[in-house]
Amino acid sequence: MNLILLLLIIAQVCLGLCCWISPQALRSLAAHLLTRADVIEAARKEHSRRLQFWQSELGVDGENPIHEAPAMDVVHAAFRR
């Protein structure tokens, strides 16, 4: 069995036992995970807001990202052959 997979299973079992025995541990684990999810969601919203700001400042539409610019079509066409 993969050593990392075994380590993850043991860690999950330990967390499960701690949360089952102690409601305080369950509350603290849940608070940690929910806070982390909120931070990730806030970061995504902020990234989207910044992207929209700079697109409007530079007059760029969001349909043609930089990596799909017409100059790259030549490179993509060369690899398709």
Is this prediction's pTM over 0.75? Answer: no
CA atoms of 10 and 37, how far apart (whole Å): 24
User: Could you read off the pLDDT of 66-81 as tens digits, one per residue?
Assistant: 555 455 554 455 455 4
What pLDDT score was predicted for residue 49?
Answer: 92
What pLDDT score was predicted for residue 1?
Answer: 65
Helices (H), the chain: 3-21, 23-58, 70-80
User: Could you read off the pLDDT of 23-45 as tens digits, one per residue?
Assistant: 888 888 888 888 888 888 888 99
DSSP state of 64: S
User: Could you read off the pLDDT of 45-58 as tens digits, one per residue?
Assistant: 999 999 998 888 88
Q: Which residues contact 54 (CB under 8 A, 6 or more apart)?
A: 60
